[in-house]
């Protein structure tokens, strides 16, 4: 009974969002994202009389829910150019931590720090879409690809040996993916992103979206 009720609710929500997007010419998507980054940096803990510098490396993983809005700026028979924002809200986890901590007199090696924190991403991207390019595309196409890029603000906090520190940046992002499905009820997309972090690290992510 509960499963049937949940299925009905999900169907009604999908129908509502689809009607909204088709009536206003805005494509929407809802799904999941996972990402991974191996990062390095310097964190400092300071008191009135001393300080500790932590020169660290770690892995940051993120998982979250994605809500995407996208609008075609230019359309032609076999594709379009669109602008959109696939926003993510989720959590981050840190592991594989290692740091060299220096208090002014000696150096210590610290390992094993782990933790989790709220994470979000707000990108603005432009895409070149070829083939199936829209959830409301009424052509016979059932496959499409897209490539694009833009900028993204991302935020979370990471755990170091000297405490939690912000890990946020506004960086360029490159992306590509595929869209599949003959009707809007079954259309979905799979995408891959690479984000360049200010420190020179890279974040790689994959996301699956149900096209609404």
Write the burial class of residue 146 (CB in 10 Å: 0-12 exposed, 13-18 middle, 19+ buried). buried
Average pLDDT along the chain: 85
Q: What is the pLDDT of residue 68?
A: 95
CATH of domain 2-211: 2.40.160.20
The Cα–Cα gap between 134 and 138 comes to 9
pLDDT digits (tens, 9 = 90+) for 153-194: 999 999 999 999 999 989 999 999 999 987 777 889 999 999
Report phi then psi at 137, rounded to 5. -60, 115
User: What tokens were used for 179?
Assistant: 């869209």
Instruction: Identify the CA nearest to 28 among candidates 90, 79, 82.
Output: 82
Instruction: Return the HEC string of 10-64.
Output: HHHHHHHHHHHHHHHCCEEEEEEEEEEEEEEEEEEEECCCCEEEEEEEEEEEEEE
Answer whether 78's CB lies under 8 Å from 131's CB.
yes
Highest mean pLDDT among 42-46, 132-136, 148-152: 148-152
pLDDT bucket at 56, cuts 50 / 70 / 90 = very high
pLDDT bucket at 126, cuts 50 / 70 / 90 = very high
pLDDT bucket at 30, cuts 50 / 70 / 90 = very high
For residue 65, is pLDDT > 90?
yes
End-to-end alpha carbon distance in the chain: 26
**Sign (positive/negative) of CA torsion 103, 104, 109, 111?**
positive
* Residue-range domain boundaries for the chain: 2-211
């Amino acid at each position: 009974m509960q499963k049937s009720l949940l299925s009905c609710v999900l169907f009604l929500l999908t129908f509502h969002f689809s009607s909204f997007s088709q009536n206003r010419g805005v494509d929407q998507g809802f799904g999941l994202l996972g990402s991974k980054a191996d990062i390095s940096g310097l964190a400092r803990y300071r008191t009135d009389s001393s300080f500790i510098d932590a020169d660290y490396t770690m892995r940051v993983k993120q998982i979250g829910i994605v809500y995407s809005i996208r609008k075609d700026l230019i359309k032609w028979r076999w594709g379009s150019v669109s602008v959109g924002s696939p926003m993510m809200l989720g959590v981050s986890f840190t592991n594989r931590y290692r740091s060299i901590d220096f208090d002014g007199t000696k150096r210590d090696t610290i390992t094993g720090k782990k933790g989790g924190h709220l994470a979000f991403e707000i990108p603005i991207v432009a895409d070149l879409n070829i083939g199936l390019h829209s959830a409301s595309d009424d052509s016979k196409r059932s496959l499409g690809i897209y490539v694009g890029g833009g900028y993204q603000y991302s935020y979370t906090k990471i755990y170091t040996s000297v405490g939690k520190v912000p890990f946020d940046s506004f960086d360029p992002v490159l992306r590509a993916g595929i869209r599949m499905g003959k009707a809007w009820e079954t259309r979905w997309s799979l995408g891959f992103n690479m984000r360049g972090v200010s420190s020179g690290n890279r974040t790689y992510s994959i996301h699956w979206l149900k096209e609404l």
